Chains A and B, each alone.
Chain A
Amino acid sequence: MSTITDTQPDPATRTETGRARQRRRLGGGAALSLLAWVIGIIFVMPILWMVLTSLHSESDAATNPPSLLAPLTLSGYREFFGASSGASPWPTIANSLSAAVLSTVVVLLLALPAAYALSIRPVRKWTDVLFFFLSTKMLPVVAALLPIYLILQNLKLLDNIWALGLLYTSMNLAIAVWMLRSFLAEVPVAILEAASMDGASLLRTLRSVVAPIIMPGIAATALICFIFSWNELLFARVLTSTVAQTAPVFLTGFVTSQGLFLAKVCAASFAVSLPVLIAGFAAQDKLVQGLSLGAVK
């Protein structure tokens, strides 16, 4: 909107109607800004409500109309983290962390060389390879669930968190290859040529020239892979039981208790979501490029 005022030739030549139109536009602009704020608040409301409820006592959380100004307490979090009631969530959080970290590390180890072979020194038919990776991401995981269950059963790897981590690797590898390829493709050819002209070896070029440029891209890729692994429910639910249970599976299981549990549910949901919220905001600048597989910048 403001561009239109910039392109006006000269304040002196503006007519009365021009100024009126400009004022109307400014008024409309304020209304649109307000609308943006209102929609933003509506979208963030369930999260704010989750956090507020998690800080209330169970009896204050379950009132109608809601008691906004009830005293704050950490009892919901104490309940969830196992002060009184049965199972502790810590082993499941440790499992989720193990699976997510393992899969993220393996994804990067496999995807970085692959992305290099698809961008800086591309193999022949490299676009076909890229689209093969992408097509695997489009197959529904639920169709692979049964055979994977049977294979893991035969290998005695059911309820094993490392096996789950490797499955998450296959889930995220295609995304990571695409993301890293798009970041590597941004490395200017001239820099690489200059490095090789100066006699830098391949490893040295990679370490001192390529790595610093694509570090933010690698970090964003890692964070997005971490988020998808941390969130996963279906595989974790079917392939793990007691030893390797992950945090999302734990979440689905613990709302069976009688009586009031709303503050505890909200505390649990927020506690489990917090790592993802932090990772997501950390990757915010590269989130679009990552989620659109590098197609959008």
Chain B
Amino acid sequence: MTVAVETRRPQAAQPNGTRRRTSDWVRRAPLLPALVFMIIVTQLPFVITLIISLMNWNAYYPDERGFAGLANYSRVFTDVNMRQAVFTTILLTASVVLVSLALGLCIALLLDRTFRGRGIVRTMMIAPFLVVPVAAALVWKHALYNPEYGLLNGMLTWIWQLFGSANPPQPDWITNTPLTAVAASIIWQWTPFMMLILLAGLQSRPLDVIEAAQIDGASTWQIFRFMTLPHMRQYLELAALLGAIYIVQDFDHVFTITSGGLGTANLPYAIYQTFYTAHDYGRASAAGVVVVIGTIIIATFALRTVSSLFRREISQ
């Protein structure tokens, strides 16, 4: 790291001790407001969460407030709803990340070619990411999934009419497949994100090497398998991990489409409910700590990926 610093800004001759210390503080000064603000607003609440998680505290019973030890944690791990929420969170995050990553890669490959209207298609692809998540969830719930007049069932009616049938299937999407319905709306919003990062990755491929391989007679598949994929690995990791950080925290779609019903309550929703509806502060905090620990595991990988890309960038 320090090597990079020196290449970026070669330091003048080493000044004496005190002058160096003052110049250090002059350098640090612009950084401090942001750093102090960040420490207060983000670290302090987590310390409080940790303390409350060890307390017996329900806002409905203010007189019974006291030290609870690890009771909240054992309740979090034995509570069926919480365990279900952990399972739902993992399932939802993994499926959304994998599907939107695969779709994003296919679309990025399609857009990494020159064709008429490429800019328009790219713009159309970005648009879903730029709809307010609540609004997107509302539109999916009422305008697409509605069993009576939603677009999905409307299209089924059209297709069946085309073949002269009067009784098209009219499934109730949200009731029949609640988690898939929620996941589909999140996938729709996050595929553009994956696509953008992967497209940037594809466009950073060294073209001369690929051309050389083409001249040497490598097939399109060989070029994809042995040159494009290895180059794309870190971009795939980056897109998956950054996406996972946001998708793990998804609240808007779950809240709007199913209100956490039908087995779709993920951890953010379950914690929101424990705190906002049940007012069980102790248990909500313990669940929060569990989520933080889970996230740190993902975040460690994410940070490692970002820092490997980063180190390559600053060493250039």
Which A positions have Cβ atoms within 8 angstroms of B? 1-4, 7, 29, 32-33, 35-37, 39-41, 43-47, 49-50, 53, 61-66, 110-111, 113-114, 116-127, 129, 131-151, 166-167, 169-170, 173-174, 177, 185, 189, 227, 230-231, 233-234, 238, 247-248, 251-252, 255, 261-262, 265-266, 268-270, 272-273, 276-277, 279-281, 284, 287-288, 291-293, 295-297
Contact = CB atoms under 8 A, between A and B. Distances in A.
16 contacts: A36-B107, A36-B121, A39-B110, A46-B140, A64-B154, A119-B8, A123-B24, A127-B307, A131-B307, A133-B34, A146-B284, A147-B46, A252-B255, A273-B131, A273-B132, A295-B310
A146 B128 contact: no
Contact of B275 (A66, A121, A131, A146): A146
A32 B113 contact: yes
B230 to A, nearest CB: 17
Contact of B157 (A47, A65, A110, A269): A65
A108 to B, nearest CB: 11
B172 interface: no
B27 A62 contact: no
Contact of A287 (B43, B196, B276): B196
Contact of B124 (A41, A124, A131): A41
Contacts of B117: 37
Shortest 5 CB-CB distances between A and B: which pairs?
A: A113-B30, A143-B288, A269-B135, A280-B130, A147-B48
A127 B214 CA distance: 40
B24 A124 contact: yes
Contacts of B122: 40
Nearest to B144: A46
Nearest to A292: B197
Contacts of B271: 142-143, 145
B151 interface: yes
Interface residues of B, number: 120
Interface string B285-311: 100110110011011001100110110
A66 B28 CA distance: 62
B5 A122 contact: yes
Nearest to A44: B124
Given A46-B188, A138-B299, A252-B256, A144 B45 contact: yes
Interface in B72-89: none
A273 B238 contact: no
Contacts of A119: 8
Contact of A144 (B49, B204, B251, B296): B49
Contacts of A143: 45-46, 49, 271, 285, 288-289, 291-292
Chain B CB within 10 Å, residue with most, of A29, A147, A281: A147
A280 B196 CA distance: 13
A159 B80 CA distance: 33
Contacts of B140: 46
B268 A142 contact: yes
B48 A142 contact: no
Contact of A135 (B31, B255, B281, B299): B299
A272 B196 contact: no
Interface string B22-36: 001001111101110
Given A117-B27, A139-B295, A143-B271, 19 more contacts: A2-B114, A36-B113, A37-B121, A43-B127, A49-B139, A113-B31, A114-B34, A121-B27, A127-B4, A131-B303, A138-B295, A142-B291, A146-B275, A146-B281, A148-B45, A262-B146, A276-B132, A291-B242, A293-B242
Contact of B9 (A166, A189, A292): A189
